[in-house]
Amino acid sequence: MKIVTHKVIGLVILFSLSVFSCKDLTDLNVNPNGVEPTTAHPNLVLSTVLTEAGKAFVNLGYQDIAGVMQHTQKDGWSGGHNDYDWGGSQSWSSYYDVLRNNQYVYDRSVALNFELHQGIALVMKSMLFGLITDLWGDAPYSQALKGEVGGAANTFPVFDTQEAIYTGILADLEKANTLLSKAKSAYTSNADAADVYYKGDPTKWRKLANSLALRYYMRISSKKPDVAKAGIEKIVANATQYPIITASADDAAMAFAGNSNDDSWPANATYDASESNYRRLKMSDTFVKALLAVNDPRLAIWANKVQIPLVVDATLPPKTDKIVDGKRYLSPDMVVGKEVNTNPSYVGLPTSIVGGSAYNLSPTAEQAAKNPHVSWLNDIYKAAKGPLLKARLMSASEVNFILAEAAQKGWAAGDAKARYEAGVKTSMETWGLASAYPTYVAQKDVAYNGTQKQIIEQKWIASWTAATEAWFDYRRTGFPELKTGPNAKRKVLPVRFYYMLDERNLNKANSDAALGRLELTPNSEADGKNSPWSKPWVLQGTGKPW
- Of 155, 158, 153, 156, nearest to 140 by C-alpha is 158
- Of 286, 221, 282, nearest to 480 by C-alpha is 286
The answer to whether the CB of 469 falls within 8 A of the CB of 463 is yes
Would the pLDDT of 154 be above 90? no
DSSP 378: P
The answer to whether the CB of 30 falls within 8 A of the CB of 37 is no
Note the helical H segments in 344-497: 396-408, 416-430, 437-441, 452-462, 467-477
Would the pLDDT of 32 be above 70? no
Question: What is the predicted pLDDT for the residue at 89?
Answer: 82
Would the pLDDT of 392 be above 90? yes
Q: Are strands 310-312 and 327-330 parallel, antiparallel or unpaired?
A: parallel
Would the pLDDT of 10 be above 50? no
Contacts with 435 (C-beta within 8 Å, 6 or more apart), sequence order: none
Per-residue model confidence as pLDDT tens digits over 225-237: 999 999 999 999 9
AA letter at 437: Y
Would the pLDDT of 11 be above 80? no
Question: What is the predicted pLDDT for the residue at 17?
Answer: 35
pLDDT, the chain, mean: 92
Distance CA 471, CA 329 (A): 39
| Of 2-11, 208-217, 478-487, minimum mean pLDDT range | 2-11
The answer to whether the CB of 275 falls within 8 A of the CB of 307 is no
Q: Averaged over 327-333, what is the pLDDT?
A: 98
Per-residue model confidence as pLDDT tens digits over 507-526: 999 999 999 999 999 999 99
Question: What is the predicted pLDDT for the residue at 12?
Answer: 36
Question: What is the predicted pLDDT for the residue at 88?
Answer: 80
Would the pLDDT of 27 be above 50? no
pLDDT band at 150 (very low <50, low <70, confident <90, very high): low
Beta-carbon neighbour count of residue 342 at 10 Å? 17
Would the pLDDT of 15 be above 50? no
Q: Averaged over 375-382, what is the pLDDT?
A: 98
The kind and range of the H/E element at 160 are strand 159-160
AA letter at 200: G
Question: What is the predicted pLDDT for the residue at 149?
Answer: 67
Would the pLDDT of 20 be above 50? no
Would the pLDDT of 460 be above 80? yes
The residues spanned by each domain of the chain are: 295-381
In percent, how much of the chain has pLDDT > 90? 87
pLDDT band at 369 (very low <50, low <70, confident <90, very high): confident
Would the pLDDT of 326 be above 50? yes
Beta-carbon neighbour count of residue 87 at 10 Å? 11
